Structure 1
Amino acid sequence: MSTLTRAEVTAVATLRRLFRTRALTYLTLLVGVASLGSIFGIASDAMYGVSHPINLIAYWHIGLATAAAGALTVTFLGCVLYLLTETDFWEFLAHASGEVGFLFVTLTLVTGSVWGRVIWNSWWEWTDIRLVTFLIVWFIYAGYLLIYSAGGANRVARLASAYGIVGFVTVPLSYVSTRLWTPTFHETTVGNPDTQATVTVPALLLSVVAMGLLYLLLLASRVRVRELESRLTSVRRAAADRAAEPSGGE
């Protein structure tokens, strides 16, 4: 690991303090409860000309998708910083965020499929550009995690980081796909006055914030686990080296 610059020391220390504070847990719980209350209390269940309770899943679906995009962006930044500095913390951050992001991408696909089955009478549609590009994102980051599973050596970490940087292009591509190509189901909602995907804005915003906080909480937990694993590995190596040293009488 290279010597940390003053700015890097400050950034790492700030993130570690954030990850260890109990306030993050309490805030996540508070906003999560408020989000559930707003979804079941004030959120409209009418979308795309259909009134059905299944439409409420859209608030989690959109929140998960937003948090997933944020998580994979953090993975991208962590990969860049690791390749530039070779600081272990950035590798841990990138990998942990990739794990949580992959989980959120998976849940986004599952909730979208359940929602679509009722609203569009289809679990999946290969002609919908958003669905296809988001599935590509899922496969890309499954590959990212598989590379890491090959081992924790520096060479593997650098390879995974390079892969994470290149693979990130699929994330913004999936977002803009509905503007570049004509979608089957997923019409553009932001900046589109003709959209039928009407939502209750306060409930949606609470859901997005709740999922973002849940992401931070899970990320903090995974980063701490990675750091503990790294320390344990260092201790074991040091003990093995001491055991391999010849005794003073030899």
Structure 2
Amino acid sequence: MNVLSRLETRGIPYLRALFQSSSIKYLTLLAGVASLGSIFGMASDSMYGVSNQINLIAYWHIGLATAAAVALTVTFLGCALYLATETPFWEFLAHSSGEVGFLMVTLTLVTGSVWGKVIWNSWWEWTDIRLVTFLVIWFIYAGYLLIYSAGGDSASLKRITSVYGIVGFVTVPLSYLSTRLWTPTFHRPTTGNPDADATITVPALLLSIAALLLVYLYLVGSRVQLRELKRRVNYARRDRTLDDHAMGPSQGGD
């Protein structure tokens, strides 16, 4: 049995069971409460030499950016698996993860702008490579969702959208590596950078990231289940229509 066959026979049932598990909902709630408690109870509000409560938004900003990266990576993998197998589940997973990822990219941009106004006295800065490349991600995945929504049930357009989702993914690692590949205006690397002057309370940040990853998992699971339910309903309606057409002539002959 090859890798794709194992994914089909083991991976899909496992993911369905995960998405249907009620424990995800409770874990998401628990992690969210713990994250809020840690951010407002222990997180530092002093960053880049500025002490302000608005700095606490950084913990959601970074968490949202991390969850967005995970979501768009899942979209990339789902698109690749759909092209390889044409199994509807992978298409549903790719699109659902793209929807949630796009939402998180949007919220990352919004929270970053609010935070940046306090820290750098600017809502936006076109010279900052991270901001510009992240905006490119937003446009790329807005295009992905628009193309998908225009396709309906067209199999050919689903394949085109999947190719788009694979090619467009190159913008994601490019944006996340941009501050190391080019000189940033604002977003200087903090990991592995001894000159970084941002103060982050690590436990609060890790809790925020965990909470937002669980929010992502809950949302994408709900979307996949909804898509599969809609597909079953559509099949049931189609079968009923076919049965009605098949019975119609015979009843008329009587």
Q: TM-score range by the shorter chain?
A: over 0.9
2:250 pairs with 1:248:
yes
Percent of residue pairs bearing the same amino acid type: 70
Residue identity in the other structure for 2:116: G
What does the per-residue CA deviation read over 1:154-178, in whole Å, with 9 as the maximum and x for residues that have no partner?
1121111000000000000000000
| Residue in structure 2 matched with residue 143 of structure 1 by the alignment | 143
Looking at structure 2, the residues matched to 198 and 227 of structure 1 have their Cα atoms a distance apart, in angstroms, of 44
Q: 1:130 corresponds to which residue?
A: 130
Paired with 1:7 and 1:115, the residues of 2 have a C-alpha distance of 42
Alpha-carbon separation, structure 2, partners of 1:105 and 1:179: 20
Deviations 1:133-163 (A, max 9, x none): 0000000000000011111321121111000
Matched, 1:74 2:74: yes
CA drift of 1:224 comes to 0.5
Aligned residue in 2 for 1:120: 120
Q: Which residue of 2 aligns with 1:182?
A: 183
Paired with 2:233 and 2:242, the residues of 1 have a C-alpha distance of 14
Letter in structure 1 aligned against 2:232: R
Q: CA RMSD in A?
A: 1.1
Runs of 4+ in 1 over 4 A off after TM superposition: none
Structure 1 match to 2:25: 25
Residues 199-220 of structure 1, C-alpha deviations (whole Å, 9 max, x = no match):
0000000000000000000011
The one-letter code sitting in structure 2 at the alignment partner of 1:247 is P
Task: Confirm or deny that 1:202 pairs with 2:203.
Answer: yes
Alignment-derived partner of residue 220 in structure 2: 219
Which moved further from structure 2: 189-198 or 95-104?
189-198
For 1:185 and 1:6, how far apart are their aligned partners in 2?
45
Relative to the length of structure 2, the TM-score reads 0.95
Q: Distance in 2 between matches of 1:207 and 1:67?
A: 10
Tell me, in whole angstroms, the C-alpha distance in 2 between the residues paired with 1:42 and 1:187.
24
The alpha-carbon deviation at position 188 of structure 1 amounts to 0.8
Displacement of 1:192 in angstroms is: 0.5
Aligned partner of 2:13: which letter?
A
Structure 1: distance between partners of 2:182 and 2:6: 46
When normalised by structure 1's length, the TM-score is 0.96
